[in-house]
Amino acid sequence: MSHSRSWRIGKVSRVAVALLGTGVLLVGCASNGDDSGTDTTNTSGDVVTGMVNEQPDPGDAVAGGTMTYGVQVLVPSLDPTKTAARGGSGGEAFAAVYDVLMSYDTASGEFEPKLAQSLDTSDDGSTWRLKLRDGVKFSDGSALDANAVIASIDRYNAGKGNGAELWLASVESAQASGPTTVDFKLKTPWMRFPSMLALGHGMIVAPSSQQGDKFTAVGAGPFTEDLFTPSVERIFKANPSYYGGAPKLDKLRMVALNGPQANLESLNSGQLDVAYIRGLTSAINSAKSAGYPGYIDVLNAGSAEIVNNREGRPGSDVRVRQAIGYALDTTLIDQRVENGEGLPGSELFGPTSQWHVDTPGIAYDPEKAKELLNQAKADGYDGTLDYVVLSEPKDHAIGLAVQSLLQAVGFEVNLILANNAGDIVQNVYVKHDFDLAHAGIGMYESILDLGLFSTTNSTSMANTAGYANPAMDQLIADLQQAKDNSSTLAIIGKIQTLWNETVPSAPIGGLTSFWAWQKNVHGVVPTATGIMLFDQAWMGAK
């Protein structure tokens, strides 16, 4: 085994840009950011990612107080198998209770031990040894040892938590080689394996949590659950026995408000200490200009039109999918919706991404779209599409723009407005009752393999589009085994080429998010998928 203590996921020079439980994300209630940590420039304007409006040295930390954080969704359960751990939509709640074995340094692009003491790999990345910190205990007083880690991971996979399919396809065994040591044997080398221990698999649930059908959230994180009022708030209290030392905060309070503008207004009024401002460029720019410190990030392909590829749907015909792709002018959509301030593009990984390649996305070509659509119509297709869009101002504007572009090439688009995110979940993600839907494809910087596998692999339950292509499955497998950045980028280029040819769905742009906080807030640390860690957070005098 080597003795490296952190792993670089791959920072390369950059060019000048959940759904709950799945890899595809709701956008109208908008989407989270990715994990890049570098200043970059986009053709439609300056896009600065990473920490912004950084604060001067605040001095000694102050203990006490309740920090209020405005999130996207208050998850109904703190069981990590029930909801994908993502920033703003459940990830912070899980991290508060369970912590994470590995954390992602958004500035360096490296995974580093957190709850774990170390994670070492063999030379080829086919075996990994996890060493736990000595003496760590769950909040119920029981030991967080190797057996507890294995039991938690087994439980997570059995419960089909987000990423379980990829884990089971990739990991041959997990065995305790000592009281605080776990050895993972992989089926093939995988240098980005540490990313799997930064999300659900790395959030270790105590054996006492599951008592028959009853689940109680017991972890070794910095907080324990105090109060939950559905759709209103979730409150956590400090865990005095936390291995990193008792948190400075007395309590951490999470509330879900009505979107990014409401979060900004509540931040401005002082009702929020930390606000998740997601996907609304005007609100993000306003918060940034106001001098709020925080973290800005971009979710690759965070805005997309999901095409239902299943039999019986228009999208089962590749010509229809191609026609949709060629019909969408992403720059025009951005002008109508974001006044040209967004990150339009049809590629999977936009210019702010370390995974951006020279292969462009599918090009806007209305004449080609008409030709393909006419071919499909000649074979009996009537040209209609049932298009599901969330009835929220930004999404509705996107829906109208997309409808107009598709109808301009000969489609007849029935715009179906969903009243809330729950309706989108049921119709699109559960029942698959749609032809086209506006949502997002979750291509996070830090979990490259999981994002592509979840949304595109033919065996993935999170493949909302129902796309199935053996050639794409093989490319995703090849990507996982890539040993360095250059080979990774070469395979991403091939994936983009095949995507352009088969159009599983149609990305229309990246999605920017800003986790902004008051100037008296300190010690909030971003990790994978925009999850904010609060174990070192504290508040000074206002």
Average pLDDT value for residue range 233-239: 98
Average pLDDT value for residue range 73-85: 93
Label residue 9 by pLDDT band (50, 70, 90): very low
Domains in the chain, CATH or no CATH each: 299-512 (3.10.105.10)
The per-residue pLDDT for range 371-404, each reduced to its tens digit, is 999 999 999 999 999 999 999 889 999 999 999 9
Q: Within the chain, how many helices (H) and strands (E) appear?
A: 13, 28
Average pLDDT value for residue range 5-32: 35
Q: So what's the pLDDT on residue 44? A: 36
Q: Looking at per-residue confidence, does 432 or 258 come out higher?
A: 432
Q: So what's the pLDDT on residue 23? A: 40
According to DSSP, the residues that pair with 392 across neighbouring strands are none
Indicate whether 494 pLDDT > 50. Answer: yes
Q: So what's the pLDDT on residue 28? A: 42
Q: Cβ distance 226 to 217 under 8 Å?
A: no
pTM score, two decimals? 0.90
Average pLDDT value for residue range 340-352: 95
Q: So what's the pLDDT on residue 426? A: 86
The per-residue pLDDT for range 162-206, each reduced to its tens digit, is 999 999 999 999 999 999 999 999 999 999 999 999 999 999 999
Q: So what's the pLDDT on residue 47? A: 73
Q: Cβ distance 524 to 274 under 8 Å?
A: yes
CA–CA distances in Å: residue 277 to residues 287, 297, 333, 370, 479: 9, 11, 21, 38, 32
CB atoms within 10 A of CB 469: 18
Element (H, E) at 489: helix 485-502
Cα(295)–Cα(55) distance, rounded to whole angstroms? Answer: 12
Cα(127)–Cα(364) distance, rounded to whole angstroms? Answer: 45
DSSP state of 412: E
| Residue-wise burial string across 289-298, b where 16 or more C-beta atoms lie within 10 A, e elsewhere | eeebbbbbbb
310 burial (CB, 10 Å; 0-12 / 13-18 / 19+) is middle
Cα(129)–Cα(114) distance, rounded to whole angstroms? Answer: 15
Cα(527)–Cα(109) distance, rounded to whole angstroms? Answer: 10
Q: So what's the pLDDT on residue 49? A: 86
Q: Cβ distance 322 to 503 under 8 Å?
A: yes
Indicate whether 505 pLDDT > 80. Answer: yes
At CA 316, angle to CA 313 and CA 317, rounded to 5? Answer: 115
Q: What SS3 class is residue 338?
A: helix
Cα(45)–Cα(217) distance, rounded to whole angstroms? Answer: 44
The per-residue pLDDT for range 91-144, each reduced to its tens digit, is 999 999 999 999 999 999 999 999 999 999 987 899 999 999 999 999 999 999
- HSE-CB for 205 with a 13 A CA cutoff: 26
Cα(45)–Cα(340) distance, rounded to whole angstroms? Answer: 8
Q: Cβ distance 75 to 84 under 8 Å?
A: no
The per-residue pLDDT for range 422-463, each reduced to its tens digit, is 788 888 988 999 999 999 888 999 999 999 999 999 999 889
CB atoms within 10 A of CB 59: 8
Q: So what's the pLDDT on residue 542? A: 84
Indicate whether 407 pLDDT > 70. Answer: yes
Element (H, E) at 132: strand 127-132
Distance of CA 541 to the CA centre of its chain: 33
Q: So what's the pLDDT on residue 343? A: 95
Label residue 46 by pLDDT band (50, 70, 90): low
Label residue 323 by pLDDT band (50, 70, 90): very high
According to DSSP, the residues that pair with 413 across neighbouring strands are 385
Label residue 20 by pLDDT band (50, 70, 90): very low
CB atoms within 10 A of CB 45: 14
Indicate whether 16 pLDDT > 50. Answer: no
Closest-CA residue to 192 (of 487, 472, 442): 487
438 residue type, one letter: H
What integer best gives the mean pLDDT of the chain? 90
According to DSSP, the residues that pair with 116 across neighbouring strands are 132
Q: So what's the pLDDT on residue 422? A: 76
The per-residue pLDDT for range 21-31, each reduced to its tens digit, is 334 444 444 33
Name, in order, each residue with C-beta under 8 angstroms of 386's C-beta and a sequence gap of 6 or more: 414, 416, 434, 435, 436
Average pLDDT value for residue range 254-264: 90
Percent of the chain with pLDDT over 70: 92
Label residue 486 by pLDDT band (50, 70, 90): very high
The per-residue pLDDT for range 262-315, each reduced to its tens digit, is 999 999 999 999 999 999 999 999 999 999 999 999 999 999 999 999 999 999
CA–CA distances in Å: residue 177 to residues 145, 183, 186, 233: 11, 7, 16, 42
Q: So what's the pLDDT on residue 34? A: 39
